[in-house]
Amino acid sequence: MSTLTLYQQNFTSRLLLGTAAYPTMEILRASIEAASPAMITVSLRRQSSDGQAHGQAFWQLLQEMRIPILPNTAGCQSVQEAVTTAQMAREVFETDWVKLELIGDDDTLQPDVFQLVEAASILIKEGFKVLPYCTEDLIACRRLLDAGCEALMPWAAPIGTGLGVVHEYALRVLRERLPDTPLIIDAGLGLPSQATQVIEWGYDAVLLNTAVSRSGNPIDMARAFACAVEAGRLAYEAAPIIPREQAQASTPTVGQPFWHSAEY
């Protein structure tokens, strides 16, 4: 199976995993180990608001896991807020990577694509490797690429809903029209089968949090998603057959046994 390449860096896994809302630190650790993700996402603002004891255990866990960290700007609603949060995260985590979130609606948590492009432009110029959380809108995605983003993270459905793919047509068109751009499905997946589906369409990776952390057994669910993503990529690279409406026999009629002749 081929590797995932983002900003000229290779990753052996095509699964990215969030770190929020796990029942315990032990379950978080075991879930990360089960998933073996390419990166783990961390919200500087939300983690900083946790209790001191919990916070210290969390930071220690990050150091021990030795998995690349992808800070995000979760909760930001303005360009300045997002840029400042990204700059702080770069100092804290010593990384230029950032998942850029800039929310425009409190109910759907839909990204504000207008401010997103502006914030991405600023961060790209400052040397950040920006992974913007965006919608499946083709034009907005093109503007983000024009701003300098080398990969995009369109949603499948609103954050935390577990609905799976809401707009299949738009996501398929996006994949078709941006064939050379790494695309990571971020938000809205609830089942491993949904992850397999988008990877089979040619999406390069998926990012999960709620589907794993709030499941009945996060450890097993993390492992299930890891297997699903791998299966989806293997299927994609194996070149699936093209669906057709007319039946076609898989066994040829030439050379059938004699008892199928007209005499019988």
Burial of 181 (0-12, 13-18, 19+ CB in 10 A): middle
With contact defined as beta carbons under 8 Å apart, do 75 and 52 qualify?
A: no
Question: Is 104 marked as binding a ligand?
Answer: no
Is 209 among the annotated ligand-binding positions? yes
Is 210 annotated to bind ligand? yes
Q: What is the three-class DSSP state of 98?
A: strand
What sections of the chain are H helices per DSSP? 25-35, 44-48, 52-65, 79-93, 113-125, 138-146, 168-177, 192-200, 210-213, 218-237
Structure tokens at 130: 């920006």
Angle at CA of residue 160, ends 156 and 217, nearest 5°: 110
Nearest to 133 by CA among 108, 38, 19: 108
Question: What is the rounded CA–CA span in Å between residue 227 and residue 223?
Answer: 6
Q: Tell me the two tokens of residue 32.
A: 């990360």
187 annotated as belonging to a binding site for a ligand: yes
Q: What angle do CA 76, 77, 79 make, to 5 degrees?
A: 90
* Catalytically annotated residues: 99
Annotated binding site for 1-deoxy-D-xylulose 5-phosphate, which residues? 160, 187-188, 209-210
Annotated binding site, which residues? 160, 187-188, 209-210
